[in-house]
Amino acid sequence: MNIQPLFDYIARYVALTIEEQELLLANVNRRRYLKGQYIVQQGDICQFENFVLSGCVKSFYIDPEGHEHIAMFAIENWWVTDLGSFIKQRPADYNVLCLENTELVQFHHKKLEELYQKIPSLERFFRIIIQNAFVASQDRIVQSMSVPARERYLAFRQKYPQIERRVPQYMVASYLGITKEFLSKIRSQLIHEQ
Amino acid sequence: MNIQPLFDYIARYVALTIEEQELLLANVNRRRYLKGQYIVQQGDICQFENFVLSGCVKSFYIDPEGHEHIAMFAIENWWVTDLGSFIKQRPADYNVLCLENTELVQFHHKKLEELYQKIPSLERFFRIIIQNAFVASQDRIVQSMSVPARERYLAFRQKYPQIERRVPQYMVASYLGITKEFLSKIRSQLIHEQ
DNA sequence: AAGGGATGTTAAACTAGGTTAATAGGCTCT
DNA sequence: AGAGCCTATTAACCTAGTTTAACATCCCTT
């Protein structure tokens, strides 16, 4: 399992010395999951921040009526965890499930805290990527308020074509906050339109 | 204008030395705005990350049809900016407008970058608060998908009673992603119910 | 090759929430 | 004290999106 993509990804934001890279390497786990396995389950105390080397996962919430709501997908070069559970070390509200066989680099909560002390650049790196994630998240809130489902679907398609190809349609619908039936209707409208 | 609330706020997450506090103090602006003034306008390159010492502001997006969508409110001890614009130094998508006379501590983009280098704890501090903001933002997305407007209103009321008292109802409606008429209907239902 | 689960479609009936418009109360300013 | 704006309410009508249910399709497995 080649960890190089992680270093390449980090190098886009900060420069780590060789020693820092080695220290980091000594303090992460690599792990394979099979399609259908859970990386995090609602109720767990989430131990890891995960970087996806290969594969595809979804993070989702099951509401009291038993309906699933997909918070995000993650594929190669994305990060995924239940961040609330990870940082506060409290039971997870979300599940993270593999949609394909998946390879991860896992940062254990406690070891990451230690790494932050030893490698200030790493803390900088996480500050930057979380900032970016927060901006995207805010935009998604405003989009869900101001943009109708059809346009949101078109935007999703444009922004994440790789994901649309890899996950079933009903999960895309859930991510967009609509039912699979309604997404199906939107798609048939789009087809018959031109 | 007393800046102590900022130091108290920071001290909840990291410990700054006296020298670090002085360095910080020498590199921030304090500024007063009047009710109705803009802190950020759509199209500006946003120069500042702002900490609210007193007052109340809203951050909002105007969609192509001219409808306003409130992304967040900020009162005492909150942070507000157009973060996307601030970090990428690109034109702002959002506006930030004072709903009351407001006092801010402003961190200039360039000076903040310098402060990060000189005060690693400050970068740690921002990493932590942005992490928290991101978790809250993700939860809001999932709530908007899984919880009907009425319950979202009740949750808002419970979570931010100070804000509900200080801002007009139609802005609460906008924040919740519903029309003012529908919020009014929900409220009258709640009243006639018990 | 047949059976079963997971995925996608269609359509009819329904509902949460939006739109429009009229009304009214409460500020603030002169 | 009246003019004017900002804020809230109510009600009739409308629509984007949901629910239910039936049916079609595509794998995957034995």
Does the CB of A172 sit below 7 A from strand D?
no
Q: Which two tokens stand for residue B112?
A: 């903040």
Question: For residue range B127-162, what is the model confidence (pLDDT) as tens digits?
Answer: 999 999 999 999 999 999 999 999 999 999 999 999
At CA A183, angle to CA A54 and CA A150, rounded to 5?
100
Do A127 and B126 make contact, defined as CB atoms within 8 angstroms? yes
One-character DSSP codes across chain B: ---HHHHHHHHTT-PPPHHHHHHHHHTEEEEEE-TT-EEE-TTSBP-EEEEEEES-EEEEEE-TTS-EEEEEEE-TT-EES-HHHHHHT-B-S-EEEESS-EEEEEEEHHHHHHHHHH-HHHHHHHHHHHHHHHHHHHHHHHHHHHS-HHHHHHHHHHH-HHHHHHS-HHHHHHHHTS-HHHHHHHHHHHHHH-
Helix axes B180-193, B149-159, angle to 10 degrees: 80
Of all nucleotides in the shown strands, which has a C1' nearest the CA of A171?
Answer: C7
A110 touches chain B (CB under 8 A): no
Answer yes or no: are the C-beta atoms of A109 and B24 closer than 8 Å: no
Do B127 and A132 make contact, defined as CB atoms within 8 angstroms? no
Q: How far is A94 from chain B (nearest CA, A)?
A: 10
Residue-level pLDDT at A110 = 98
DSSP-derived pairing of the beta strands A48-54 and A79-80: antiparallel
Residue-level pLDDT at B39 = 97
Q: How confident is the model at residue B193 (pLDDT cuts 50, 70, 90)?
A: confident
Q: Which two tokens stand for residue B57?
A: 């502001």
**Minimal CA–CA distance to A187: which of A140, A153, A162?**
A153
Residue-level pLDDT at B194 = 67
Residue that is written with structure tokens 């259908």 in the block: A36
Cα–Cα distance, A165 to A157 (Å, whole number): 9
Question: For residue range B47-105, what is the model confidence (pLDDT) as tens digits?
Answer: 999 999 999 999 999 999 999 999 999 999 999 999 999 999 999 999 999 999 999 99
Contacts of B93 in chain A (CB under 8 A): 139
Q: How many Å apart are B88 CA and D19 C1'?
A: 44
**Minimal CA–CA distance to A136: which of B130, B29, B161, B186?**
B130
Hey, what domains does chain B have and what are their CATH numbers?
A: 4-119 (2.60.120.10)
One-character DSSP codes across A113-138: HHHHHH-HHHHHHHHHHHHHHHHHHH
A67 touches chain B (CB under 8 A): yes
Residue-level pLDDT at B59 = 98
Question: For residue range B23-63, what is the model confidence (pLDDT) as tens digits?
Answer: 999 999 999 999 999 999 999 999 999 999 999 999 999 99
Residue type, A88: K
Residue-level pLDDT at B82 = 98
Helix axes A120-146, A18-26, angle to 10 degrees: 70
Mutate to test the interface with A, among B63, B144, B146 (most CBs of A within 10 A): B146
Give the mean pLDDT of chain A. Answer: 97
pLDDT at A1 over 90: no
Do A130 and B132 make contact, defined as CB atoms within 8 angstroms? no
What are the beta bridge partners of residue A95?
Answer: A60
pLDDT at A150 over 80: yes
Chain pair A-B, CB pairs under 8 angstroms: 90
B177 touches chain A (CB under 8 A): yes
A141 touches chain B (CB under 8 A): yes
The secondary element (H helix, E strand) that includes residue A20 is: helix A18-26
Helix (H, G, I), strand (E, B) or coil at A105: strand
Helix axes A109-118, A120-146, angle to 10 degrees: 120
B30 touches chain A (CB under 8 A): no
Residue of B nearest to A60 (CA): B142
Question: For residue range A60-75, what is the model confidence (pLDDT) as tens digits?
Answer: 999 998 999 999 999 9
Mean pLDDT of A134-154: 98
Question: For residue range A162-190, what is the model confidence (pLDDT) as tens digits?
Answer: 999 999 999 999 999 999 999 999 999 99
Answer yes or no: are the C-beta atoms of B95 and B57 closer than 8 Å: no
**Cβ within 8 Å of residue B138, ≥6 positions away:** A71, A72, A83, A84, A137
Does the CB of B188 sit below 7 A from strand D?
yes
B120 touches chain A (CB under 8 A): yes
Does the CB of B22 sit below 7 A from strand D?
no
Chain C nucleotides covered by protein, CB below 7 Å:
6-12, 16-21
Residue percentage of chain A with pLDDT more than 90: 97
Q: Which two tokens stand for residue B24?
A: 């910080």
Cα–Cα distance, A58 to A55 (Å, whole number): 11
